[in-house]
Amino acid sequence: MEDENLIATTLIPFFNNYFPLNSKEKEEVLERFSQRKIKRRGMLLQQGDVCKFFYFVVSGCLKMYVTDDAGKEHNLQFAIEQEWISDLSSFYSEKPSQVFIEAIEPTVVLQIKHADLLHLYIHYHKFDRNFRIITEQKYIALQKRTLENISTSAEVRYHNFVAQHPALALRLPNTQIASYLGITPEFLSKIRKNFTQPS
């Protein structure tokens, strides 16, 4: 019952912002999504495991990252309330993932299995359209970030990050933002200091 209430008050309104669901489609969402709670620093996905779920964040904050040979983390993506996260490559291919997904804060997600999502795609084309929009938006954001990384300075990347993700900029510690921007926490502190000084 708790799962259904949460789905009804968060996920169904989210879908209704794209293509509103009818009563049968709402029933399918209630049946095929489930709630999961993750403690701070808890793992949703370990590198080497198959990603079995697509996650919708109800509350909290998640990060997707990889580690290099020296063990250093490199953040690829964050997800907060009303956002989706998954290793789509592993999720759709059912092959081992190359990334980790970890909770930066205590987090609640609604998750759907691969087989259940395919069922929605096949039997209710509205979900196919909804998730196409979600995936396209993620792709556009990734493309924009890749272009920024190869064509702009760290200062510009930070300014853009703050402009595009003001809530994240306030919630995340320097170490997490620095990892995402590809700079050291010390350099980020310097950028932030200059950013907040009056011109």
In terms of Cβ atoms closer than 10 Å to its own Cβ (0-12, 13-18, 19+), residue 23 is: exposed
Query: Which residues make Cβ contacts (< 8 Å) with residue 159, sequence separation at least 6?
Result: 195
Specify whether the CB–CB gap between 15 and 47 falls below 8 A. no
Q: What does pLDDT average to over the chain?
A: 92
Q: Looking at the domain assignment, is residue 114 inside a domain?
A: yes
> Which pLDDT score, from 0 to 100, does residue 194 have?
78
Q: Looking at the domain assignment, is residue 68 inside a domain?
A: yes
For 84-105, the pLDDT digits (tens) are: 999 999 999 999 999 999 999 9
For 108-128, the pLDDT digits (tens) are: 999 999 999 999 999 999 999
> Which pLDDT score, from 0 to 100, does residue 1 have?
64
Q: Looking at the domain assignment, is residue 151 inside a domain?
A: no
Q: Looking at the domain assignment, is residue 80 inside a domain?
A: yes
> Which pLDDT score, from 0 to 100, does residue 3 have?
79
For 185-197, the pLDDT digits (tens) are: 999 999 888 766 5
> Which pLDDT score, from 0 to 100, does residue 196 have?
63
Q: Looking at the domain assignment, is residue 26 inside a domain?
A: yes
Q: Looking at the domain assignment, is residue 7 inside a domain?
A: yes
**Domain that includes residue 78, residue range:** 2-124
> pTM, whole model, 2 decimals?
0.91
Q: Looking at the domain assignment, is residue 93 inside a domain?
A: yes
For 3-48, the pLDDT digits (tens) are: 789 999 999 999 999 889 999 999 999 999 999 999 999 999 999 9
CATH code, 7: 2.60.120.10
153 has pLDDT over 50: yes
Count structural domains, the chain: 1
Give the residue-averaged pLDDT of 162-184: 91
> Which pLDDT score, from 0 to 100, does residue 93 have?
94
How many Cβ atoms from other residues are within 10 Å of residue 150's Cβ? 6
Q: Looking at the domain assignment, is residue 102 inside a domain?
A: yes
